[in-house]
Amino acid sequence: MPDNSTVTSAGQVPVFVQFFINNRPYAVSVAPDMTLFELLRDQGFSSVKCGCESSNCGLCTVWLEGMPVLSCSILVAQIHGKHVTTLESLQQEALRFGEFLADEGGDQCGFCVPGMVMNALWLARTCKDRGFTASDDEIRDALLGNLCRCSGYQVHTRAIRRYLDDILATA
């Protein structure tokens, strides 16, 4: 809701927003055009990075209500009452997936990896929930929003395939 009691020096009316990051409640008063990416970096979530600022590269991927979204294109004011998940709270799953990624040589320069891991882990949870693995098309679709300039995606696709097989076998 608008917080009309204060107008900033830039003439903006701050917005009071309550939400959760990694299940921890937050209540902040922010500029109406502050992006979720800016807030996450301010709060120390350094896994979230900004590459293209045009909804293409996927570096700023976080989960909003359990679905991957681009935090550089969402305003903090729009996430009132919602749950945000960053890579910081998915360390165990990320570590396990990272082993498959490293085995396949998919770590490369590493710049795109945090965003790519967010999408891979989302796909893994989707597969676990429905009880069957993803098709190659689904894996490619999940990776389409994460630009990688090193690998050509084959290694990531193989790593995700092996990771999905592993977690479904042990589920």
Partner 1 sequence: MYTLRSFERPTTQEEALRVLGQGSNHVILGGTHWLRLSTRAYDTGIDLSLLPNFTTITKDETSSLLVGGGVSYGQLEDHEWVTSWLAGVFSRTLKGIVSRQMRNTATIGGSLYSRFAFSDTLPVLLAADAEVQLARAGWMKIDELLSASPKDLKGDFLYTLKLPACEGVGSYQAIRITAQDFPMVNVAVVAKRTDKGSSWSVTSGARPGVACRCQRTSALLDELIPCDAFIDQHLSGKTPEIVLTPDNMKALAEALAQDAEYKSGGHASAAYRNQAAGSLLKKALNELGGGLVFNAR
Site string for partner 1, 12-31 (x = CB under 8 A): xx-x---------------x
Cβ nearer to partner 1, comparing 99 with 136: 136
Q: Rule CB under 8 A: choose which of 48, 70, 94, 159 binds partner 1.
A: 70
Residue 53 found at the interface with partner 1 (CB under 8 A): yes
Give the three-state DSSP class for 99. Answer: helix
Pairing of strands 67-70, 24-30: unpaired
Q: Rule CB under 8 A: choose which of 39, 40, 72, 90 binds partner 1.
A: 72
Would the CA dihedral through 14, 17, 23, 24 be positive or negative? positive
**Residue 158 to residue 153: CA distance in whole angstroms:** 9
Residue 16 DSSP label: E
Residues 103-142 that bind partner 1 (CB under 8 A): 119, 141-142
